[in-house]
Chain A
Amino acid sequence: MFKELSQEVLKKIEEKHIKPKPRWTFLLKDYAVWILGALALFSGGLAFAVVIYMVKNNDWEVYKNINGSLPQFVVLTMPYFWLIFLAVFILVAHYNFKHTKTGYRYRLPAVIGVSIVLSIGLGGFLYGAGVGRAIDDVLSENAPGFYRVFVNRRLDMWARPERGLLLGLITTVNNPQEFELLDFERRTWAVSAFGAAIPPFVKIETGGRIKIIGEKTGENAFHAVMIMPVGPGRGMMRHPEFMHGVMPPGPGFMMRGDVGLDSDIMPPAPPLPPDPDF
């Protein structure tokens, strides 16, 4: 019977003209799996570069002004979007590795661990090369609505002048201590910065993007105590809609004790020179 089975198999192969699949089809599949895995790792590295950039520039030194509790501040400001992005691509890298010829030989924690270490290493390198900041700039400039709602909600924490927090674009500079600032609500503020702490790398000039801690002193007047560069999300203030119209709505971020923002729509702002980039 077995002799018949063997002969039958050979007969079937001949009759149906069955041929071994060419070697290149298998090689192509193997390479595709490895390349997709490498791309996933690279994407994870990109995500981690942005995570480092956002965490490092998370206003740690002034968290008490933004939110009294450090744990709450951490929970509110973590870059969840990029962390989820990172996790997804680590899983994709793991999936691809498991589907290489010998990937099954390694245990899940080992593969995930190596993927995380490689993503972190690559992410650190890319962050050092300025890629994290570049990605954040490009995304916040080109998709500000999405960015404001899903990627970085912390910008809205700075849109609370009643709480002494203000963020925006310098539109007119009378002198380094007196200038005008356009905020996300297209409201122009007269800012006085006499005696304010300003890091040397922050220049008060038209087109500059800054965050201010201070005090609202009038309907459209603000006194600055500390001035800082915007950091993550600064690309939003390069978006044409911010420069010449109304920004897409944000998540409506409100903290306990906030009284809300005025919703006056201002006329389009005049064109500004290129951002000097702090």
Chain B
Amino acid sequence: MTNLEQTQDKTDEELAVLTLENQGNFLYLLKRYEDKLMRYILRISNVSREEAEDILQDTFIKVYQNLNDFDPELKFSSWIYRITHNQVVSHHRRRQARPEGYKIELSDELANKLAADLNTPREIDRGLLRQGLEAALLNIDEKYREVIVLKFFEGLDYREISDILKKPVGTIGTLINRAKIKLREEMKKNSIKY
């Protein structure tokens, strides 16, 4: 049985503990999160792929340095997303740039899921709908875009989003509702009718 197979049935939390005993185990945690976090960084920031890799690298090093600070009350995924979120924010601060001019790509499945939550009619052309949603997502405020990304793209629940953004669950609910309203308004502006 290889090391990789041995770690497959381990939870993230167990792997974090094992990493503290043996640094080599960190690789398995990296593999679990590198794709997800890379997509997350690209969705919430305006960085190039190369910059996103730099951010991700810094994120992983920060995760490693702070492994002893991991709170078992949280899910490991919430904790690692929080560190990623903070790294993206500090990256923006260093560059003193607002995240503008980048592209969010929606799969049909995601577009349908988001559209259903926005109560868009079924008869609307799915291609148009996807384009409308992508354009609307680019135009809404960063704080609203981030909760939409976490809720619909990353598929996280309110508690997890609350732990990542360090805001009360009630505030996350409010932010998501407002984000939906903003999305609808943006779609109306772009002539996507309901």
Chain A contact residues, CB within 8 Å of chain B: 1-2, 5-10, 12-14, 18-23, 25-26, 101-102, 104-107
Contacts and interface: CB of A to CB of B under 8 A. Distances in A.
B60 A9 contact: yes
25 contacts: A1-B53, A2-B31, A5-B34, A5-B53, A6-B30, A6-B34, A8-B57, A9-B57, A9-B60, A9-B61, A9-B64, A13-B26, A18-B65, A19-B65, A20-B64, A20-B65, A20-B67, A22-B68, A101-B71, A102-B71, A104-B168, A105-B168, A106-B168, A107-B168, A107-B170
A105 B66 contact: no
Interface residues of B, number: 30
Contacts of B23: 10, 13-14
A148 to B, nearest CB: 45
Main secondary structure of the interface of A (DSSP, over half): helix
A2 B61 contact: no
A2 B38 contact: yes
A178 B30 CA distance: 90
B42 to A, nearest CB: 13
Contact of B57 (A12, A104, A105): A12
Main secondary structure of the interface of B (DSSP, over half): helix
Given A6-B27, A6-B31, A9-B30, A21 B69 contact: yes
A22 B192 CA distance: 54
A176 B178 CA distance: 75
Nearest to B33: A6
Contacts, number: 71
A23 B27 contact: no
Contacts of B30: 5-6, 9-10
Nearest to A16: B61
Nearest to A29: B69
The 9 closest A-B pairs by CB, nearest first: A104-B166, A23-B68, A6-B30, A26-B69, A20-B67, A9-B60, A2-B34, A107-B168, A20-B68
Interface string B156-167: 000000100011
Interface of B: 20, 23-24, 26-27, 30-31, 34-35, 38, 53, 56-57, 60-61, 64-69, 71, 73, 162, 166-171
Contacts of A2: 31, 34-35, 38
Contacts of A8: 57
- A6, A10, A21, A26 — most chain B CB neighbours (10 Å): A6
A62 to B, nearest CB: 49
- B26, B30, B66, B67 — most chain A CB neighbours (10 Å): B30
